[in-house]
């Protein structure tokens, strides 16, 4: 394999797991992050602590690497474009521009005749009144949301607070009466070859992923349709690397895309133990220009996310040979912070 150094923007658990996959493939890693405590530095070959707007540090980072990728989508697109002028950056910044903006993301999907929740773009309280047919609904900031941050449930017009000043743009989404949530993780290579992992069934609590499992308990039709949509989306975006499509299934078994994550995804953590090649390894392979390898499922599996102080009891537990505990080694425990996960392989 060629001698290659990969730059990774972001140093959380996804960055850590990407670095570990890179190590396995003998790819060197340089992580840049605005979190001096970011756990990925425990696994990277080099670590640069910097604000993402610091152009000198970004330059230093660019000079050290052959290709750049990232672990989260909310990086200023301007920075990604500066990097793109000098080094290959995958997935491409123009993809990020679409996906980190809920309005552009939903329009992109609807243009492909893929259903999403019913939605409207919101700039003022008046816009909510005009779209009251979307209530009960969820008001979401148009950009910069994650793990339910920047979301407000609106059951009726009475929930609009007088002091909201709408300094940001929002979208209002009709609340879906959920039957299930699933996700499809897909890795696409530069020669248009793809590997689509089987759909994963997810349970969220307080808008944060709590539990994932394969196989998902869904019909053959939804299995195929969710994979086909993911493939179409990846192709239309000319996506290279691993991405994830999050879906809602409503009470009438309609399949709606919730959102696209242009990166490896929390629900795909079980691929580390349940497949011979994980979502992380496939991402590294794709962005570094390696060949696609044959992917094989080893086992059914379930994954439990460990949030906040729950980590303490998991650190003290003992595990069987089918249980895999991952401690993200985050220095501070915060309420609802993702601290680790456990994957249990099942028959
Ligand atoms: P984030 O960008 O923070 O991941 P999401 O839009 O994916 O936000 O929402 C997080 C979770 O909140 C979803 O996985 C789902 O459980 C719930 N949720 C979000 N929007 C809706 C909706 N319109 N109807 C029902 N549940 C929703
Ligand atoms: Mg989400």
3-state SS track over the chain = CCCCEEEEECCCHHHHHHHHHHHHCCCEEEEEECCCCCHHHHCCCEEEECCCCCHHHHHHHHHHCCEEEECCCCCCHHHHHHHHHHCEECCCHHHHHHHCEHHHHHHHHHHCCCCECCEEEECCHHHHHHCHHHCCEEEEECECCCCCCCEEEECCHHHCCCCCCCCCCEEEEECCCEEEEEEEEEEECCCCCEEECCCEEEEEECCEEEEEEECCCCCHHHHHHHHHHHHHHHHHCCCCEEEEEEEEEECCCCEEEEEEECCCCHHHHHHHHHECCCHHHHHHHHHCCCCCCCCCECCEEEEEEEEHHHHHHHHHCCCCCCEEEEECCCCCCCCCCEEEEEEEEEC
Establish whether residue 73 lines the binding site of ligand 1, counting it when its CB lies within 6 angstroms of any ligand atom: no
How many other CB atoms sit within 10 Å of the CB of residue 152?
A: 15
Count of positions (residues) in the chain: 347
155 C-alpha vs ligand 2 centroid, how far in Å? Answer: 20
Above 90 in pLDDT, residue 145?
no
232 C-alpha vs ligand 1 centroid, how far in Å? Answer: 22
Dist. CA 302–CA 267, nearest whole Å? 10
Q: Report percent pLDDT > 70 for the chain.
A: 99
Q: 300 forms bridges with which residues in the sheet?
A: 346
Above 90 in pLDDT, residue 299?
yes
pLDDT of residue 219: 98
What pLDDT digit, counting tens, does each position of 28-62 carry?
A: 999 999 999 999 999 999 999 999 999 999 999 99
Residue pair 199/182 in contact by the 8 Å Cβ criterion:
yes
Token representation of residue 280: 């992380």
Furthest-apart CA pair in the chain: how many Å?
61
Q: Order of strands, edge to edge, in the sheet holding 88-89?
A: 46-49, 28-33, 5-9, 67-70, 88-89
| pTM, 2 dp | 0.96
In this structure, the strands spanning 170-174 and 208-214 are unpaired
Above 90 in pLDDT, residue 1?
no
In the structure, what pLDDT confidence band is assigned to residue 333 with cuts at 50, 70 and 90?
very high
Establish whether residue 176 lines the binding site of ligand 1, counting it when its CB lies within 6 angstroms of any ligand atom: yes
Q: What is the mean pLDDT of the chain?
A: 95
204 C-alpha vs ligand 2 centroid, how far in Å? Answer: 9
247 C-alpha vs ligand 1 centroid, how far in Å? Answer: 10
* More confident position, 147 or 53: 53
Establish whether residue 289 lines the binding site of ligand 1, counting it when its CB lies within 6 angstroms of any ligand atom: no
What pLDDT digit, counting tens, does each position of 260-293 carry?
A: 999 999 999 999 999 999 999 999 999 999 999 9
Q: Which ligand is nearest to the CA of 139?
A: 1
Token representation of residue 325: 């505990």
Dist. CA 274–CA 285, nearest whole Å? 18
Establish whether residue 128 lines the binding site of ligand 1, counting it when its CB lies within 6 angstroms of any ligand atom: no
Establish whether residue 148 lines the binding site of ligand 1, counting it when its CB lies within 6 angstroms of any ligand atom: yes
Establish whether residue 178 lines the binding site of ligand 1, counting it when its CB lies within 6 angstroms of any ligand atom: yes
Residue 177 alpha carbon, nearest atom of ligand 1:
25
Across 63-72, 75-84, 112-121, 299-308, least confident range:
75-84
Above 70 in pLDDT, residue 329?
yes
């Amino acid at each position: 394999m060629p001698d290659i150094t990969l730059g990774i923007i972001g140093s959380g658990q996804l960055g850590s797991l990407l670095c570990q996959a890179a190590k396995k493939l003998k790819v060197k890693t340089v992580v840049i992050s605005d979190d001096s405590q970011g756990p990925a530095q425990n696994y990277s070959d080099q670590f640069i602590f910097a604000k993402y707007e610091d152009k000198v540090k970004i330059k230093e980072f660019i000079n050290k690497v052959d290709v750049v990728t990232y672990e989260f989508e909310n990086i200023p697109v301007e920075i990604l474009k500066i990097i793109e002028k000098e080094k290959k950056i995958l997935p491409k910044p123009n993809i990020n521009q679409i996906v980190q903006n809920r309005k552009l993301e939903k329009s992109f999907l609807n243009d492909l005749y893929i259903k999403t929740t019913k939605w409207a773009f919101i700039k003022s309280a008046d816009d909510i009144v005009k779209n009251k047919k979307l209530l009960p609904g969820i008001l979401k900031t148009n950009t910069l949301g994650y793990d339910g941050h920047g979301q407000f449930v609106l059951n009726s017009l009475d929930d609009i607070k007088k002091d909201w000043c709408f300094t940001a743009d929002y979208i209002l989404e009709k609340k879906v009466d959920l039957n299930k949530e699933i996700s499809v993780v897909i890795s696409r290579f530069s020669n248009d070859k793809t590997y689509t992992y089987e759909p994963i069934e997810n349970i969220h609590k307080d808008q944060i992923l709590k539990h994932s499992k394969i196989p998902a308990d869904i019909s053959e039709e939804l299995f195929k349709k969710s994979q086909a949509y993911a493939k179409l989306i990846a192709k239309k975006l000319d996506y290279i690397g691993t991405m994830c499509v999050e879906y809602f299934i409503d009470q009438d078994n309609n399949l709606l895309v919730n959102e696209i994550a242009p990166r490896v995804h929390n629900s795909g953590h079980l691929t580390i133990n349940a497949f011979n090649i994980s979502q992380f390894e496939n991402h590294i392979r794709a962005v570094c220009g390696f060949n696609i390898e044959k992917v094989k499922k080893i086992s059914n599996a379930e994954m439990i996310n460990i949030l906040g102080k729950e980590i303490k009891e998991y650190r003290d537990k003992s595990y069987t040979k089918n249980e895999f505990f991952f401690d993200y080694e985050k220095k501070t425990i915060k309420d609802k912070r993702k601290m680790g996960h456990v994957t249990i392989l099942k028959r």
